Amino acid sequence: MAVSTERPVRRRRYTRQPLQRVFALTPQKGALLQTVAEYGVVSLPQLAALIGPSAKSVRRHLRELFDAGLVEVIAVPRVALVEPARGLNDPSLLYGSAPNLYTVTRVGLLALKELGLTEDAPIRGERYGPRNWLFLAHELLIRDVRVWFELSARAHEEHELEVWRDGAAARIDLGEAGQLYPDAWLVYRFGERRLAALLEVDRGTERGGNRWKEKLAAYEVLYQEGRLKAAVGYHKARVLVVAPDARRRDQLAASIAEQAAADLARRFWLADRSILDRPDVHRVGWRHGDDTLLKPLLSPALVSPAPKASPLLARMQQGVRREP
C-alpha cells in the first residue's frame, strides 16, 4: 500500500484560504460570531472561556469563520499585549506570538442581522490594526472584566450581567462640566437586587496623577444630585478600579483618599488583576475606601432569595387543576 509522504499545507494565520467543505453557521459558530460582534475585539482565551468547550475547538470554528470572511484576525506583535510589570526588555518577547484577536467584518454583521441576532445588544464593527494596536492591551483588560462578570453570573443562581456599556456607549454627559469617559459601566443583578457600577482599568503605564485628578473631578460632578440617575438609571453606583498588581491598587487607594472628598472616596472599590483569575463576585479581594481589609465585591449575605410561590399559585402557573 502506497503511503503519501506529502505534508498538509499549513494555513497562513492572516490569509484566508478556500473552505475545505460547505460552510454552515452552526449554533456554536453563531454564538462565537455574535460574541465577537458584541465585544468589538476579543481574544481566543476570552472566547474559549465564554463559549468553550476548549480553546482548540474554538480556534477551529473561528478559523472557518475567518476563511468565510465573517471575522477578521488582528495582526499585532506579542509585545503589544505584555504587562508593564513584566518589562518590555524581556528577551522572551522576541519569540512566539500573541493570542489571536478577533473582530467582526461587515459580512459577519450582515449574517447576524439576517439571523435576527442583533437586537439584544449593540453590534460594533470597529477596526483595529498597526495604527492603534497600542490600545489593545487596555481594551482587552476591559473585556477581561466583562468576562469575569459574565462567568460569575453563570456560577450563581439568579445572577445576571444585565447591562454592559463600554467605549463610546459608556460616555456620560456632564453638561457644562464636560464629559466623563469611564472604561465601562454595568448593571449586575443578584437575586432581586442590582449592583450598578462604573469601571476604570489601570495598567500602571501613566506617569504622574493628572489623569486621575481629572477623573476624580468628573466623578465629583457625576455624583451631584440627579446626574447619576439620569446617566445610568440608578441613584447609587460604585466605581470599580482594576489595577495591575496589589502595589498599584494600594497606591491608587491612597491617592483617591487624599484627593477626593470622603463621600466620593467611599464609592471606590479597588482590586488587582489577579481577582480576574477566578470569576466570583463573592471572592475576597476588593479594597473599599481606606479600609486595608480586603472584602468581596458582593457579600453572600446581600443575596435575597426569590420568594417562594404558594402551592396553589404554582399549580396555576403550571396549568394544573386540582381535582375535587
Q: What are phi and psi of 52, to 5 degrees?
A: 65, -165
Q: What are phi and psi of 185, to 5 degrees?
A: -140, 155
- Least confident segment among 150-154, 219-223, 254-258, 304-308: 304-308
pLDDT of residue 308: 41
pLDDT band of residue 136 (cuts 50, 70, 90) is confident
How is residue 48 written as a grid cell?
474559549
* Residue 162, SS3 per DSSP: strand
Query: What are the C-alpha distances in Å from 82 to residues 6, 120, 134, 163?
Result: 38, 33, 11, 29
pLDDT of residue 70: 95
Residue 5 has pLDDT above 50, yes or no: no
Determine contact, residues 122/104, Cβ cutoff 8 Å.
no
Tens of pLDDT, residues 224-264: 877 999 999 999 999 999 999 999 999 999 999 999 999 99
pLDDT of residue 151: 97
pLDDT of residue 25: 87
- Whole-number Å distance between alpha carbons of 270 and 281: 13
- Pick the most confident of 16-25, 123-132, 161-170, 197-206: 161-170
Residue 324 has pLDDT above 50, yes or no: no
Q: What is the mean pLDDT of residues 112-137?
A: 70
Which residue has better confidence, 262 or 96?
Answer: 262
Tens of pLDDT, residues 171-212: 999 988 899 999 999 999 999 999 999 999 998 877 666 889
- The alpha carbon dihedral of 32, 37, 43, 45 has a sign of negative
Residue 125 has pLDDT above 80, yes or no: no
Which residue has better confidence, 52 or 90?
Answer: 52
Q: What are phi and psi of 172, to 5 degrees?
A: -120, 125
Q: Which residues contact residue 218 at a Cβ distance below 8 angstroms, ignoring those fewer than 6 apart? A: 174, 177, 178, 179, 180
Q: Which residues contact residue 153 at a Cβ distance below 8 angstroms, ignoring those fewer than 6 apart? A: 159, 160, 161, 188
- Whole-number Å distance between alpha carbons of 65 and 310: 49
Residue 36 parent element (H or E): helix 27-39
Q: What is the rounded end-to-end Cα distance, in angstroms, of the chain?
A: 78
- Whole-number Å distance between alpha carbons of 188 and 151: 12
pTM of the model: 0.84
Tens of pLDDT, residues 56-77: 999 999 999 999 999 999 877 7
How is residue 187 written as a grid cell?
448593571
State what percent of residues in the chain have pLDDT above 90: 61
Q: Which residues contact residue 8 at a Cβ distance below 8 angstroms, ignoring those fewer than 6 apart? A: none
